[in-house]
Amino acid sequence: MNLLLPFGRAFGIPINLHYSLSLIVPFLAWRLANDFFPTRYEGWTQISYWLTGFVAVGALFVSILLHELAHSLVARLRGYTVDEITLFVLGGVSSITSETRRAQDEFIISVVGPLTSLGLGLVFWVFYSVTSQTNHPIAALIFYLALINIVLTVFNILPAFPLDGGRVLRSAIWALTGSFVRATNISTRISQVIGTVLVLIGVLEVSQGFILQGVWTGVIGVFVYISATRIRREEPI
């Protein structure tokens, strides 16, 4: 990660913002202010849509930060050193000094992130159930946070690196085979297949006129494929 902006510390862990956030934050706020919120909540002023959009994006990255903090704090409890947390265009990453030493450690450290996102989604959904009949920006914000945290949960449990699901998959294979190297070999191959499928889905979406959605799906697919390939090269397979 280059071009990082130090943002502060949480529990002594440095938090960095990647420059790519300067591109994704305005874009997401624009989509929320001109599509997501107006479609579901009518009659607001334009400034209300935009303010709610920017607040929602900020809250989204706070949710991602909490997800990464869960990884980092559990890693610390398991005896690992956490260098930093970085938020970037595709989410966040916790930089843990070394690879996990045991399959159990990798499973616990990996699964706690999606569980945190799921917990946040369910809590916000409870609040939304109380405010669902209200045409107010706060109610809209709660709905968005409930929805986006559940989406983050589902996305992160995909069995593909560098997502949490990829590491959960590796930990399971590692536990079954007793071999970290073999588990990495199998899980990265699966990740490359999933990355390729995502790229193909993105191409299909673009061909059907869903250009932004297709490009985004394709970018994620490329990111997954490249990450899995890098991990394969780093391990003595």
Query: What pLDDT is recorded for position 59?
Result: 95
Query: What pLDDT is recorded for position 237?
Result: 47
Residue type, 138: I
d(CA 106, CA 83): 17
- Identify whether 26 is preceded by a cis peptide bond (ω within 30 of 0): no
d(CA 169, CA 1): 25
Catalytic residue among 68, 84, 106, 205: 68
Helix (H) or strand (E) holding 197: helix 180-207
Query: What pLDDT is recorded for position 2?
Result: 55
Query: What pLDDT is recorded for position 141?
Result: 95
Residue with tokens 């916790």: 94
42 flagged as catalytic? no
Residue type, 28: L
Helix (H) or strand (E) holding 216: helix 211-234
d(CA 137, CA 36): 12
pTM tops 0.85, yes or no: yes
For the chain, state the CA radius of gyration: 19
Measure Cα distances from 209 to 38, 199, 202, 205, 214 in Å. 22, 16, 11, 6, 9
- Mark the ranges of the chain whose per-residue pLDDT is less than 70: 1-3, 235-237
